[in-house]
Structure 1
Amino acid sequence: MTGQSGLRLFGQALALLQELVCRLLLEKKKKKKKKKKKKKKKKKKKKKKQKKKKKKKKKKKKKKKKKKKKKKKKKKKKKKKQPPLRTSLRDFSRTLACAWCACVCLGTLLSHSSRVTAIEPTSNSDEFGVVVINTDFPGGNALVESNEAGTVQVAPDLRGDSPWFYWYFDATAKRPGRVNFVFPDKVIGFQNGAIGLQGPAVSRDRGKTWAWMGTQNVEGSSFYYNFAETGEQVRFAVTIPYVESNLTEFLKLNADNSFLKSRVLTKSRHGRDVELLQIGESGSQVTPVLVTARHHATESIASYVLEGFLRAAMSDLPEGVDFRERFVLFAIPFVDKDGVEEGDQGKNRKPHDHNRDYGENSIYPEVQAIKKLDEANNFLFALDFHCPTLVMPDHQVMYFVGAKQHPQYNFENVTEFAKGIKLGLPENAPAGPMVWLRDESDVSPKSSRYFGFQEGTIMAATLEIPFAPPGKATDANSCREYGQAILKAWVNTHFRAPDQLPQVGEGLKTD
């Protein structure tokens, strides 16, 4: 046994002794409390009896008074009697003697520590770990309020904007062991609203691959992780991130595809390239389609669905060939490019976010460029990919939102499109999509409303994809499958065009 391990055992023995003493004292207190409760119950019963017996004759009252006097005398005698302390004192003395003997034995062991070899623990899982938090990478976001051994108090960094739930940080172990990451109890009005219903997303290769942790390590508004060794680096996020490096990888993988073109739409406020992708060729026999994502920087799951949609559109699959024969696709993967790379919340920016910038005087370069792109191509379809709130029960399904009556047959077209998507989704996909288009009460200058009121538009809507509904798959590959199913439903939907134009499913002709 080493000197340190011996000291630990000695300390544990002293702690046990202290615990035994505390237990004996607590037992005494409990006994006293029980006696007091019994006395109170007896008094209550007596009061009830007194009320009933008041109606009886005076003779009986005298007898009762005598009985009461006798009972009072008995109580006084009981109070004078002391509780049987001999047994408790014996137990107490025995425990003291045993503990003292244990301490003496440990002392002798410590004096002969060179003769004993102890088995040291091989795991540090019971010890608190120490980590260093970092957010200095694309998409990083965290406000560290305190960082002590075993516990990191952390919150979403709002950066002056309205409350939201996005966070993404890197934790490197300075000392292995368990670390609890504790968030505020309420986030945007929801209890435990900073952690999704499948737990946080986790990456052990610096953000290259991700998986949902699950809820086994989630405790209310916190989750914990056991770091196995010093230097272990793990990234945690509220969602599976998707930043410029992910798009770059996608473009490299499809660099040999002749149907895909990439160029710069515009520069962001902070000087970043805002990408514009095109699949297919423009012409009089094809219909221009616009798809967008990340009007709100936080909503990364939508980007994986968009990836799947693009893959199917440029593929040699029947739906891909069919799509390119009738449509030309323009895609903007990052409308809020700065927000995506800088790790902003994006939602409800001040004075307004990118999806509320489609009024007369747009303030964001990306939205200004989208309007010019529409003027040049006259988009008849506009589909905007989003994600809803994190833990709200109604937001654990796919659903469409947008204007009900604009364009003319928007509700009918979206409803038929949604039916086709449902048929093509795998069993583990989130439920839906539901059709929750709104009437004219919603007049905010959103993307779907802007395109819905353009002359000749056939369909304009927003498709919301949930972050991580319980029991459903929203990992990167699954979301790409959903995107492919959406593209397949698109080519199989017979969209009803305004002003008696031919149905798109049968070939839309533009004169």
Structure 2
Amino acid sequence: MNTPAFSRYTGQSSCSRRSGRAGQNNWSVLLIAGTLIMLFACSASDLVAAEITVTSKFLGGSGDVLEIEQNDDAARVVITPSSQIDRGWPCWWYVRIDGAKAGQKIAFTVQSNNLPFRGTQKLAANWSTPQRAAISLDGVSWAHTDTATTTPQTATYNIIAPQASFWVAWGPPFLSAHAESLLSEIAATLTAENEPNKRFELARSRENRPVHAIRFGNPQAANSIWVQARQHAWETGSSWVADGFVQWAASDDPLAVQLRSTTEVFFVPIMDVDNVDRGAGGKDSAPRDHNRDWADRPIYPEVLAAQNQIKKQIDDGRLRVYIDLHNPAPGDHEPFYFGPLDYAQLTPGLRQKYDRFLELSTQFIRGPLAIHPRYRFATYVPTAEEQKRVSRNWVGDRIGDQGVSLTLETAWNTPASTVDGYREVGRGLATTITKYLIEMNQADR
């Protein structure tokens, strides 16, 4: 059996090259010189071999190409998540492949980034090597690849090229453009029904990007809820859970209509918009990430703005539910809540509220991504001072007995961790909140 003849290039060149035979020394010198010029002239994040190119030069993109090999029928591509020092974990990757041939077999390998991302800290490989990657023909609709073949440092996804150009990512991307489109759709739906709603800019980020949000429902209601996602930029699944939540909450489902008549909803689909659009991980950014910034003097304008609005709702006696949406560790295969660290010491009335919220969640967050039936607690946070800067705890310390404050972690490394799967969790969360508020309102009468 003949071994396939691959054309093989390594490095970081994104320019097209032709190889040939030089019969004279001066031609060889010119060829070498020209190649060197092209290597210096081209981007450090792209590479081309014959016809295939791989790039991450677009909004939210991430990935440095280490190697490409190919022949007419097959190709091998190796990338690693891009390093952005002090911008958080190097686990997120999102690239476009161009110049493939439909039906071509491509062994797409992700090699973990072993460079320090902050000081001497390095990230374990399994955060960047999901069992299944996301693949798209148009950058809009996403599906899972087949299960990867893994080593301790790599994951290889065997892909049949669907067309000349397509996208591959760690998970289905959700960027600032998605947030803008989603909120426009929600506002249009509610406006068409003559229902109150207001799109607003929560803040301008440190890099002057708008942090989009919306409020809707009954602005005079005694109840309010706050749901937000993406304090950690790499956790793209959390925004898709948020998408499912808000689409249900703005729908014509009778329960959703009841929610809007008795409650004002505050919704933020992306908090860390800078790192999301940069394609950075965000988690453990320097000097601290968004979910460790809930301090007396936050460094992120959007955190300060959220604190101010939430504090006002608490002071007005309105806030009943605070939910911060995240994705957990690669080995977590079911969604779960991080509850209050002092759960065992809560007053009987407040503990009953947390228990009932969890009971309702087990009824409505079901299916392949069914909620874990017990609270977990973020005891891994090393100090009491840092614990107080976690948003769930910051809100929980201030909300008292009037409501619940929770972090929902939705598993990302399962066959059901898709756009549809995440949205289903979001719909279940919205139903849970609505049922919980109905019961709490009845108990208050």
TM bucket (normalised to shorter chain) is: 0.7 to 0.9
Corresponding residue number in structure 2 for 1:132: 53
Q: Given the two structures, how large is their TM-score scaled by the length of structure 2?
A: 0.74
Cα deviation digits, residues 93-151 of structure 1 (max 9, x gap): xxxxxxxxxxxxxxxxxxxxxxxxxxxxxxxxxxx985211112221111223344433
Corresponding residue number in structure 1 for 2:129: 195
The 2-side partners of 1:384 and 1:508 are apart by 26
Q: Which runs of 5+ in 1 are unaligned?
A: 1-7, 13-127, 496-502
Corresponding residue number in structure 2 for 1:45: none
The 2-side partners of 1:151 and 1:237 are apart by 16
Cα deviation digits, residues 36-73 of structure 1 (max 9, x gap): xxxxxxxxxxxxxxxxxxxxxxxxxxxxxxxxxxxxxx
The 1-side partners of 2:127 and 2:310 are apart by 38
Check whether the contact 1:319–1:487 (CA below 8 A) recurs between aligned residues: no
Which secondary structure does the structure 2 equivalent of 1:305 belong to? helix
The 2-side partners of 1:474 and 1:236 are apart by 15
Letter in 2 for 1:446: V
Check whether the contact 1:397–1:433 (CA below 8 A) recurs between aligned residues: no
State yes or no: 1:158 paired with 2:79.
no
The 1-side partners of 2:94 and 2:425 are apart by 25
Check whether the contact 1:180–1:225 (CA below 8 A) recurs between aligned residues: yes
Cα deviation digits, residues 209-232 of structure 1 (max 9, x gap): 0011121x5354232445658x71
Corresponding residue number in structure 1 for 2:111: 184
Change (3 A) 1:219 1:381: closer
Change (3 A) 1:411 1:464: farther
The 1-side partners of 2:256 and 2:371 are apart by 25
* CA apart distance, 1:475: 1.9
The one of 379, 383, 392 equivalent to 1:448 is 392
Change (3 A) 1:348 1:189: closer
* CA apart distance, 1:420: 1.3
Which secondary structure does the structure 1 equivalent of 2:368 belong to? coil
Check whether the contact 2:339–2:375 (CA below 8 A) recurs between aligned residues: no
Cα deviation digits, residues 244-265 of structure 1 (max 9, x gap): 2222332343313134431111
Corresponding residue number in structure 2 for 1:419: 359
Corresponding residue number in structure 1 for 2:299: 363
State yes or no: 1:458 paired with 2:403.
yes
Check whether the contact 1:404–1:410 (CA below 8 A) recurs between aligned residues: no
* CA apart distance, 1:314: 2.0
The 2-side partners of 1:282 and 1:326 are apart by 9
**RMSD of Structure 2 on Structure 1 (CA):** 3.1
The 2-side partners of 1:193 and 1:273 are apart by 29
State yes or no: 1:324 paired with 2:243.
no
Change (3 A) 1:403 1:424: closer
State yes or no: 1:143 paired with 2:64.
yes
The 1-side partners of 2:357 and 2:179 are apart by 27
Which secondary structure does the structure 1 equivalent of 2:304 belong to? helix
State yes or no: 1:241 paired with 2:181.
no
Q: Which runs of 5+ in 2 are unaligned?
A: 5-48, 115-121
Check whether the contact 1:414–1:461 (CA below 8 A) recurs between aligned residues: no
Check whether the contact 2:145–2:159 (CA below 8 A) recurs between aligned residues: no
The one of 86, 91, 98 equivalent to 1:172 is 98
* CA apart distance, 1:294: 0.4
* CA apart distance, 1:169: 0.9
The 1-side partners of 2:256 and 2:376 are apart by 28
Change (3 A) 1:306 1:228: closer
Check whether the contact 1:129–1:178 (CA below 8 A) recurs between aligned residues: no
The 2-side partners of 1:163 and 1:494 are apart by 37
Greater helix share, 1 or 2? 1
Letter in 1 for 2:175: V
* CA apart distance, 1:481: 2.3
* CA apart distance, 1:308: 1.7
Corresponding residue number in structure 1 for 2:142: 210
Question: Aligned residues, how many?
Answer: 369
Q: Given the two structures, how large is their TM-score scaled by the length of structure 1?
A: 0.65
Check whether the contact 1:301–1:465 (CA below 8 A) recurs between aligned residues: yes
Which secondary structure does the structure 2 equivalent of 1:382 belong to? strand
* CA apart distance, 1:297: 0.7
Max Rg structure? 1
Change (3 A) 1:380 1:418: closer
The 2-side partners of 1:322 and 1:180 are apart by 51
Which secondary structure does the structure 1 equivalent of 2:232 belong to? coil
The 2-side partners of 1:134 and 1:296 are apart by 24
Check whether the contact 2:89–2:280 (CA below 8 A) recurs between aligned residues: no
Taking the TM superposition and a 5 Å limit, the aligned residue runs for 1:61-76 are: none
Change (3 A) 1:486 1:135: same
Cα deviation digits, residues 9-44 of structure 1 (max 9, x gap): 9x99xxxxxxxxxxxxxxxxxxxxxxxxxxxxxxxx
Check whether the contact 1:195–1:238 (CA below 8 A) recurs between aligned residues: yes
Check whether the contact 1:312–1:484 (CA below 8 A) recurs between aligned residues: yes
State yes or no: 1:396 paired with 2:333.
yes
* CA apart distance, 1:474: 2.4
Letter in 2 for 1:491: T
The 2-side partners of 1:266 and 1:417 are apart by 31
The 1-side partners of 2:444 and 2:404 are apart by 13
Corresponding residue number in structure 2 for 1:373: 309
What percent of counterpart residues are identical? 23
Change (3 A) 1:192 1:484: closer
* CA apart distance, 1:411: 4.6
